[in-house]
């Protein structure tokens, strides 16, 4: 049951969402190039090794020059294909592309223990809601007798 809105108090359980996208607001090609570039810099592997691993994962050749073109802001004709995102992240051992997309959409990724804690919280919330529903049904049925 939702309580009436209090103009002076914020709802602590109100989850902020990303603002609704407007024309051009999701054109993040420069941010994508930076995210790719940063992941490549942070990786202990060379660009050649990353390109080789991506090639292995997608099943066709991706060269170092292609990686370079995807990260260069000046190469506007070169777009990073979405279908390579998982292979890029696996090769670089990162989640940078997921994180970028999540930032744009007002969400976030959870991994490992953090994901399990979130699931546990959801289960606890669902259990509490079922308990309240059972109580309401019992109260209703008790009032009818």
Q: Measured between alpha carbons, how far is 10 from 6 in angstroms, rounded to an integer?
A: 7
Residue 62 has pLDDT above 60, yes or no: yes
pLDDT at 93: 96
pLDDT digits (tens, 9 = 90+) for 14-35: 566 677 777 777 778 888 999 9
Decide: 95 and 109 in contact? Cβ < 8 Å: yes
Q: Give CA separation, 129 vs 110, 114, 133, 138, in Å.
A: 24, 23, 6, 14
Q: Measured between alpha carbons, how far is 54 from 61 in angstroms, rounded to an integer?
A: 8
Angle of helix 85-92 relative to helix 96-105, nearest 10 degrees, comes to 130
Q: Which runs of consecutive H residues, i.e. helices, occur in the chain?
A: 29-42, 47-58, 64-71, 85-92, 96-105, 112-143
Confidence of residue 5 (pLDDT cuts 50, 70, 90): low
pLDDT at 111: 86
pLDDT winner (highest mean) among 45-59, 91-105, 124-138: 45-59
- DSSP per residue over 2-16, as a string? PPPP-TTS--TT---
Question: What are the boundaries of each domain within the chain?
Answer: 29-105, 110-145
Q: Measured between alpha carbons, how far is 97 from 111 in angstroms, rounded to an integer?
A: 14
What is the dihedral sign for C-alpha 107, 111, 117, 122? positive
H helix or E strand, kind and range, residue 26? none
């Amino acid at each position: 049951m939702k309580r009436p809105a209090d103009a002076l108090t914020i709802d602590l359980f109100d989850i902020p969402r990303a603002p609704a996208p407007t024309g051009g607001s999701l054109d993040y090609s420069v941010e994508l190039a930076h995210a790719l570039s940063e992941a490549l810099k942070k990786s202990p592997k060379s660009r050649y090794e990353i390109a080789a691993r991506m090639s292995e994962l997608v099943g066709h050749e991706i060269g170092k020059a292609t990686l370079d073109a995807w990260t260069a802001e000046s190469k506007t004709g070169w777009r990073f294909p979405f279908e390579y995102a998982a292979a890029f992240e696996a090769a670089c051992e990162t989640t940078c592309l997921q994180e970028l997309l999540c930032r744009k959409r007002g969400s976030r990724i959870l991994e490992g223990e953090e994901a399990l804690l979130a699931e546990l919280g959801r289960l606890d919330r669902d259990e509490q809601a079922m308990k309240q529903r059972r109580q309401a049904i019992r109260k209703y049925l008790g009032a009818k007798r």
